[in-house]
Structure 1
C-alpha cells in the first residue's frame, strides 16, 4: 500500500494489502450498505461493529409543521410536526439491546455470554456503533444478533420507561464525576450553540421529556440500509462476511433490491463557532478542583491533524511532556495533567486539563496557559520532535495489536475521513512533520478564543488573571 486509499461511495468493490500483510476489503451493496473487513494474519478472534453516522449532534429539537420542508431532518426525512428528539441517540443505543420480535433482551445477553464474547455500544457526537468481540467461529452469531438488533428493535413501551430510569441513573453517575462534568462544560464553553456543544448522553430534562414516538422517529429516519456501515477486523473472510450480512438483514425484511446510494459524508470544513462563554464554574465542595482550558481546534479531516498529534505529545501527551514536567514533576501542583485534541466534521477542540487543590487552581491555570504561549512563540526542539515521533509511532503500532482498534479505524475511515490510511501511511505522515509545522499550528490555535471550565470549591474571581491574559 502506497499512500492513503480513497473510499468513494460509488465504488462497489475495493481490495488492498495494508501494512503487516493485512487484507482490507470493502463492498458497497446496491442497497447502500457498506461492509469493510481487515483480515489479520494469525488472528483467532474478530471484532465487529454496526455503525450509523448519526450522533448526538443530529438530534432535532421540537419541530413544528410550519418549520419542516420536504427533505428536512437528519439524512432527509420528510417530517410533520415532531416533538424534541434531544437525547434520542443515547436512548436508542440502550433500547436496541432490549429485544426484537425474535429475541428478548436476555436472549441477546446470553448469546454473547455463553461464548465468552463481549458486546456493547457507544454513542458519539457524530456516530453510533454497536459492537462485539468473539472467537472466529462465533462471528456468524455476532452478525446475526447485531443485525437483528439494528434492523428490528421493537422499542417496547414498558422497556422504554424502564430504560429512562437507567439512563437517568447513568447521567447521575456522570454528574457525580467532576471529570465528566468539566469535560461537558468545556465543550459548551468553547463551541457555544453549535450542536457539537451539546452533551452526548442528553440531560436530565431532555431524557425525562423525550417520548417513545420521538425516539421511534429517530430510529426510522436513521437506521436504514444506506445508513449502515459494517466493519470487522481480525479473523474474517470478506466474502463470507458479506453473505452473512445480506442474509441477516434480508431476514429482517429490509429492502435490498432497491438501489440506494450510501448517505453522504459530512462536509469536512470548519463551520463558524461562537464561543459559549469565557468561564464556566460549577461550584462544589470537593477536595480537589478540576480545571480545563480550551480553544477551538481542528476538524477531523484537517491535513494538520498529524501535526496536532505531535504538538499534543510534546505539550501534554505523556510523562515527558511539558505540562507534566512543569506542573507535576517540578512543582508538585497536580497529580493528573494533560492535553488533548478532539476533531469532528466541522469543528474541533484543543484542551488541557489539571486536577489540583482549589487554592492552586489559579496558579495551575496560569502555568498551563504560559506553557502553551511559550510553545506557540518559540516552538519545540528537534529533540522534542524526535521523542514525540517515537512515542506516537510506537503507540500506533502497539494499538494495532488489538482488533478493536482496527475495527474502529475502518469505521472512522468510512464514516469520517473517506480514506483508509494504514500504519505505514500514518508513519509517513508523522515523519513529514517539522518543528515549524508544530509552532505554526500552536500559534494558530492560541489565536482563538480561550474558554475555561472548572469544577470545585472555586469562585469566578479565581480565574480573573487568566481570563484577562
Structure 2
C-alpha cells in the first residue's frame, strides 16, 4: 500500500491548489496549469496557446526576460513550460527554500506579462522558425499528419504549434483577449510536489492569485468524428516514417486500463511484440513502438515506425499480421502478468522525480477533479482480465477503423496495409 500525502484546497475565486508533501527530499516542483490548449482555439487562432506560452517568458512589468530566467537559475533552479491539446503548464523546480520565488515568478509571468509589441514581433519570427524546423523533422511531423488523418478538420487533428500563416497573423490584442477569456482562476490550478507544506502553498497561492477575478467563459468543445483514412506525403529522405492506429477511449473511460496493457505488450517497450518481431528478429527498423493518448472525450492508439522504402512493405505486413493475431486471439496470460508488473513499476519509479509527481497531480486534477491514488490505479490494472483486453483489441484494432499516415520516399507502386 502506498500512502500519499495529497491535499487539495479551492480558493474563493475558484483557483485550485493541490500538493503532495515529500519530506525526505530537499526540492520542490511547482506548476501553474491552465485548462486551455490547442483544442480550444477558434479557426483564426491556430497556434495561439503555444504562442502565449512563449510570450509569457518575454518580460513582465517588474521583470525582464533575462530577469525571469536569471532569478530562478541563480538559485540553482529551472523554469519551463509546455502546451498540449487540452492544457498548458508553466512550471519550475528549485530547492524547497526557494519555492516561494518559483511561484512568485510564475504568477508574475501569467498575470503581468507586458506583451511588448517589439518582443511580440520578434517571437513570432522565432515560432515561425520553430514551425520550419518541425516541418523538416518527419519523425515528429508524421504524428500530426496521422492525427489529421483520424480527426480531419477537428481541432484535435491540428498541430499545437499552428502554421506560419496563423502565427504570423496573431496580434497583441487577440492574445490579450484570449487570455482574458481562458486564463481565469476557475480554469487554473497550482500543483506542487516536494518538501513544501500544503498550508504554506495555499498561503502563497492566495497572496499571488487570490485577488484575481474570475470571469470564466465556457470553452465549447465537440467530440471528434473519427474516420479511417490513409494519407501519404512524399518527401526526399532516407526513411519512410509512418503511424498506424485509430480512435480509442477518453480519460474517464475504464477501458483505458486494458488498453494500457494492450499497448505495453504490442509496442510499449523493448520486450514488446512489435519491437521483437520487426527489429530484433528481422532487423527491419530501428524505431518501432506504440503509445496511447487520452483526451476528455476520446483517445488515440498509435503505432509508429521508421524504415527504409525498400523494407516498408515488410514492416507493414509484419505489423498487420501481429495486429490481426492479437485481435483474434488476445494476449497470453504471461504477457498480461508481465505488463501489469511493468505498469506498476513505471508508476512507482516515476514517484522518485518531483516534477513527475507534480505533473501527475495537475493532469489528474484537470481531468478527474481529484488526484487518483496510485493504489486505486494499480487495483484497476490488476482487475483487467484477458477477456477485457480481447474486447478492447477487437474494437481498437478493427481494420475498418484504422488510419495510416506516412512521410518519405515511397517505393514504386506504393505500400499497402
* TM > 0.5: yes
Equivalent residue for 1:362, pick from 295, 304, 313: 313
Name the SS for the 1:462 alignment partner: coil
Q: Which runs of 5+ in 1 are unaligned?
A: 1-18, 62-83
Does structure 2 conserve the Cα–Cα contact (< 8 Å) formed by 1:283 and 1:459?
no
Q: Please list, as runs of the form range in 1=range in 2, the aligned pairs for 1:24-423 lying within 5 A after superposition.
A: 24-61=6-43, 84-249=44-209, 254-255=212-213, 271-275=223-227, 278-423=229-374
Residue in 1 that maps onto 2:409: 457
Is 1:316–1:323's contact at 8 Å kept on the other side of the alignment? yes
1:428 aligns with 2:407: no
Counterpart CA distance in 2 for 1:456 and 1:97 is: 36
Rounded to whole Å, the distance in 2 between the matches of 1:47 and 1:187 is 32
- Return the offset for 1:444: 0.8
Show the counterpart of 1:6.
none
Distance in structure 2 (CA, Å) of the matches to 1:440 and 1:229: 37
Query: Structure 1 residues 286 and 377, CA, compared in 2 at 3 Å: closer, same or farther?
Result: same
- CA spacing shift, 1:194–1:235, aligned 2, 3 Å: same
Offset from partner CA, 1:403-455 (integer Å, 9 cap, x none): 11111111111111223222222211111111111111000112352211111
- Residue 294 of structure 1 contacts residue 451 of structure 1 at CA under 8 Å; is this kept in 2? yes
Q: Is the 8 A contact 1:21 1:40 kept in 2?
A: no
> C-alpha separation between the residues in 2 aligned to 1:158 and 1:196?
31
Distance in 2 (CA, whole Å) between partners of 1:107 and 1:388 is: 46
Q: Deviations over 1:45-89 (max 9, x none)?
A: 11111011100010112xxxxxxxxxxxxxxxxxxxxxx222110
SS of residue paired to 2:206: helix
| 8 Å CA contact 2:40, 2:220 repeated in 1 | no
**Which range moves more in the overlay, 309-318 or 217-226?**
217-226
Q: Following TM superposition, by how much is the alpha carbon of 1:23 offset from its aligned partner in structure 2, in angstroms?
A: 1.2
Q: CA RMSD in A?
A: 1.9
Which residue pairs with 1:441 in the alignment? 392
1:70 alignment counterpart: none
1:15 alignment partner in structure 2? none
Deviations 1:138-175 (A, max 9, x none): 00001111011111111111111010011111112212
1:310 and 1:389 in contact (8 A); partners too: yes
C-alpha contact (below 8 Å) 2:38/2:85 kept by paired residues: yes
Q: C-alpha separation between the residues in 1 aligned to 2:186 and 2:339? A: 40
Deviation at 1:266, TM superposition (A): 8.6
8 Å CA contact 1:323–1:368 kept in 2: the answer is: yes
Q: State how far apart, in whole Å, the 2-side matches of 1:459 and 1:32 are.
A: 56
Residues 360-396 of structure 1, C-alpha deviation per residue, up to 9 Å, x if partnerless? 1122112212211110110011111111111111111
Contact 1:86 1:210 in 2 (8 A): no
The gaps in structure 2 that reach 5 residues or longer are none
Indicate the SS of the match to 1:132: strand
Moved more, 222-231 or 128-137: 222-231
The DSSP-based 3-state class of the residue aligned with 1:419 is coil
Q: C-alpha deviations, 1:106-146, integer Å up to 9, x for none? A: 11011111011111000000000000011100000011110
Moved over 3 A (4+): 19-22, 260-267
Q: Displacement, 1:460?
A: 8.8
Residue 353 of structure 1 and its aligned partner are, at CA, apart by 1.1
Question: CA separation of 1:237/1:264 partners in 2, compared to 1, >3 Å: closer, same or farther?
Answer: farther
**Hey, what's the Cα distance between the residues in 1 that align with 2:23 and 2:377?**
20
Secondary structure in 2 aligned to 1:93?
helix
Q: Decide whether the 8 Å contact of 2:309 with 2:411 is kept in 1.
A: no
Tell me how far 1:347 sits from its aligned partner: 2.0
Q: 1:262 to 1:211 in 2, by over 3 A?
A: closer
CA distance in 1, matches of 2:209, 2:374: 33
Instruction: Pick closer, same or farther for the CA change 1:228–1:272 going to 2, 3 Å.
Output: closer
Matched pairs, number? 416
TM-score, normalising length: structure 2: 0.95
Provide the C-alpha distance between the structure 2 equivalents of 1:369 and 1:417, rounded to a whole number of angstroms.
35
Partner secondary structure for residue 114 of structure 2: coil
